[in-house]
A and B are shown apart, each in its own frame.
Chain A
Amino acid sequence: MQEDNIAIEVKDLKKEFKVSSSGKGILGKLQALFHRRHKVITAVDAINFKIKRGEFVGYVGENGAGKSTTIKMLTGILVPTSGSAEVNGIVPYKNRKKNAAKIGVVFGQRTQLWWDLPVCESFDLLRVIFRVSRFDFNRQMEKLEKALGLKPLLEMPVRKLSLGQRMRCDLAASLIHNPPVLFLDEPTIGLDVLAKENIRNFLSEINREEGTTIILTTHDMNDIEQLCKRLIILEEGRIMFDGETEFLKQKFVHEKVIEVEFHEVGCVIQGIPGVTVVREQGCKKWLTLDNDNSGIGEVIGTIASQYKIKDISVKEPSVESIIRNIYDNRIRLSTP
C-alpha cells in the first residue's frame, strides 16, 4: 500500500537498451549495411526513490546519465525492463491514459502546441483532450494568464512566438488539467536570463501555492539552486546523491575558494595550514581553504602580512562546481 503523501515511488527501476553501432567512412558504412554490432546498455540501473507530495526535486546528471529515460518511464512513454514505479498511485506504463490525465509534462525542446494555430486554440483543444470542464478551464486559465502574462500571446500563432514566450505557453498548456505532478525536461534550455527568471518564479509559485509536485531535469544549476529543495544526481544510471540541496552545499562549504590579486608576480604562499593553491594566473591566485583547520580571517591576515594585496574575494562553491567535482571524482559521496 502506498502512503497518501507519496506522489512518486520508484523501486529497483531498471531500463536496458540495445544499441547498434554503424561504421565510419565509406567502407565502414557499406560494411554496416550487411552486418551490425549490437550491445546492451543500462540506461537506468535499479534506482530507488520516493517523492512526497509538494516536493520540488531537481533531477540532474550529464547527458546519457538516465534522466530522460527515468522521466519517460514515469510518464508512461517507456516500459521498464524491471522494477516498478508509481505516480499518484498509478503504474504509468500499465495505465498510460489514466496516468497521463494526472500529470503534466513539458519537454523543453519540443512544443506541445499546434505550430500554425493561435495559442488559445491549442489550449482549447487540450481542454477537450484532457476532458476539463469549461468552468474549471476558465478558472485555471485566469490564474495561468495572470501568473505567466499570457494575455498578449493568446491570439498569436505559435510559430511566431519567441522561445521564452513559447515556453510560458507550454507551461500553461501542461497545467490546463491542474495535474498534481509536473514533469519538466529542460524547461529553461535556450532561454535568456529574464525569461528563465520568469519561468522560475512561476514554478516556485505553483509549487508553493498549489502544492504541485515538480520534477525538474536541467543542465542549469541556477535552476536547481533557486528552486529545488531536493536534488537527485544520477551518474551512469545510478543515483549518486539524493538529499537536500542545502545539505550538499553545507557539506562542501569548506571548499571555499579565495581569489587573491597581488601587486606583483611571484608571491609564494606557504606554511598556512589547510590552504592549497589551485590555480594562478599573472598576479592572481586561487586558494582553497579547508576551514576545519583555520578561519578565513586568519588566512587573509597571514597573507596580508606577507604581501601587499590589490584585491581579495571569497567565493562559496556553487552547486554547479560541486556537481562538477562529483563527476570529476574529486569528491566521493555516499548515497544517504
Chain B
Amino acid sequence: MEAIKIYLTLFATSIKARMEYKASFLFYIFAILSFYIGQIGLLFVLLNRFHQIKGWTMGEMVFLYSLHAFAYGFTNLIFSQLINFDKMVVDGEFDRVLVRPLSPLGQVMFSKFEVSTAAHLIIGSTALYFGSHLAGIVWTLNKALLFPVIVGGGVLITGGIRLMVTAVAFWTLRNQSLVHTVIFSSKEFINYPVNIYNNGMQFFLTFIFPIAFINFYPAHFFLDRSGEGLLHPALEMGTPIAGIIVFTISIFTWRVGVNHYQSTGS
C-alpha cells in the first residue's frame, strides 16, 4: 500500500534527523544502561538479603525484567513521539500535521526516532540470557515461537496506554505529569511480581490497567510456574488479547481527541 511506503519514508527521515547528533548516541545509550543496571542492582541488593520476593528468585525476576525491557524498547521505537505530544498541541505543531494529506496519528508516530530502543534491546537480551540461565528455563519450540507474540502483545499494551494518555493532551493541553505517571512511573509496578500487591491492585493491574500482562502472567508460562494470586491459567496467554483490546480502545480515544481538537482548537 502506498500509505505504508509514505510512513516508511517518514520514519527513515526521522532516523536521519536523529543521526545528525551521532556524538551523543553512544553516551545516551550508556546512560540508559546505567539507569537499568542501577535498578537491577537494587533488585540484587534486596535479593541478596531476602533471597526471594513472594516466591520469585533472582533468575525469575530477571526474566520478568527482560520481557518488560523488550516490550518497552519496541514501544519506544514506534510510539516515542507521543511522549512529547502535548508540546506539539501547545505549540500549534499539530495544525501542521492536519494540513497534510495523511493520517495525523501516522505522522505523529513516525516523526521521531528514539535511540533508547537500542539500550532496551541490550538490556532485554542480556536479562533474557541470564534470566533463562539462572531460572533454568527449558526452552521448547512452543516457548520460542510464543516469545515474540508475547512481546508483541506487550508492545500493544504499552503503546495503547501511551496513545490514550497522549490523547488527553487534546483536552488538557499540558499533560506531562500524567504522561510521566502513566508511562514512566507505572513501569515500577511490574519491576516486581504483581502478586506482592493486594487483591484490589492485582485486579486493577489485570483488568483496568492491564500491564500485568506485559510480564507477570506470560512469565508463568515460560517459567513453568503454577498459578498464584489472581492467576487463572487462561491469563497466562492473555497478553495478545489484552493488547488488542487496549490498542483498539486507544485508537478510538485518539480519534475522539482529534475531533475534540478540531472543534475547539488549542
Are chains A and B touching directly in their complex (CB below 8 angstroms)?
yes
Residues of A within 8 A of B (CB): 17-18, 69, 72, 75-79, 81, 93, 96-98, 100-101, 103, 105, 107, 110, 112, 114-117, 121, 125, 128-131, 157
Check: B100 CB closer than 8 A to any chain A CB.
Answer: yes
A78-B265, A121-B13 known; A100+B99 contact, CB < 8 A: yes
Which of B20, B95, B259 contacts A107, CB < 8 Å? B95
Closest to B93 in A: A110
Contacts of A115 in B (CB 8 A): 17
Distance from A60 Cβ to chain B, minimum over Cβ atoms (Å):
20
9 A-B pairs with CB atoms under 8 Å apart are A79-B262, A96-B98, A103-B99, A110-B91, A110-B93, A114-B17, A116-B21, A117-B13, A129-B6
Check: B264 CB closer than 8 A to any chain A CB.
Answer: yes
Contact call B96/A117, Cβ cutoff below 8 A: no
Distance from A129 Cβ to chain B, minimum over Cβ atoms (Å):
6
Check: B188 CB closer than 8 A to any chain A CB.
Answer: no
Check: B256 CB closer than 8 A to any chain A CB.
Answer: no
A77, A93, A116 pick with most chain B CB within 10 angstroms: A77
A103 to B98, CA, bound (A): 12
Which of A93, A112, A129 contacts B102, CB < 8 Å? A129
Which of A69, A76, A81, A98 contacts B99, CB < 8 Å? A76
Distance from A317 Cβ to chain B, minimum over Cβ atoms (Å):
35
Residues of B within 8 A of A (CB): 2, 5-6, 9-10, 13, 16-18, 20-21, 91-93, 95-96, 98-102, 259, 262-265
Contact call B20/A105, Cβ cutoff below 8 A: no
Contact call A128/B9, Cβ cutoff below 8 A: yes
A93-B262, A107-B92 known; A131+B17 contact, CB < 8 A: no
A18 to B101, CA, bound (A): 29
A76 to B259, CA, bound (A): 11
Contacts of B20 in A (CB 8 A): 116-117, 157
Contacts of A100 in B (CB 8 A): 98-101
A76 to B99, CA, bound (A): 7
Contact call A69/B265, Cβ cutoff below 8 A: yes
A121 to B21, CA, bound (A): 17
A101 to B2, CA, bound (A): 15
Contact call B92/A110, Cβ cutoff below 8 A: yes
A130 to B101, CA, bound (A): 7
A131 to B9, CA, bound (A): 12
Contact call A77/B17, Cβ cutoff below 8 A: no
A105 to B9, CA, bound (A): 22
Closest to B111 in A: A114
A69 to B265, CA, bound (A): 9
By Cβ-Cβ distance, the 6 closest A-B pairs, closest first, are A101-B101, A100-B101, A116-B17, A97-B101, A116-B20, A105-B99
A77 to B264, CA, bound (A): 10
Which of B6, B21, B98 contacts A75, CB < 8 Å? B98
A125 to B95, CA, bound (A): 18
Contact call B98/A76, Cβ cutoff below 8 A: yes
Distance from B208 Cβ to chain A, minimum over Cβ atoms (Å):
27
A38 to B259, CA, bound (A): 21
Contact call A125/B99, Cβ cutoff below 8 A: no
A170 to B182, CA, bound (A): 37
A78 to B266, CA, bound (A): 10
Closest to B98 in A: A77
Which of A18, A98, A110, A114 contacts B264, CB < 8 Å? A18
Contact call B100/A129, Cβ cutoff below 8 A: yes
A300 to B56, CA, bound (A): 101
Closest to A125 in B: B13
Closest to A19 in B: B264
A157 to B95, CA, bound (A): 23
Contacts of B92 in A (CB 8 A): 107, 110
A77-B95, A114-B17, A157-B20 known; A128+B5 contact, CB < 8 A: yes
Contact call B95/A72, Cβ cutoff below 8 A: yes
Contacts of A128 in B (CB 8 A): 5-6, 9-10
Contacts of B99 in A (CB 8 A): 75-77, 100, 103, 105
Contact call A117/B17, Cβ cutoff below 8 A: yes
B6, B16, B101 pick with most chain A CB within 10 angstroms: B101
A93-B262, A100-B101, A128-B6 known; A107+B96 contact, CB < 8 A: yes
Contact call B101/A17, Cβ cutoff below 8 A: no
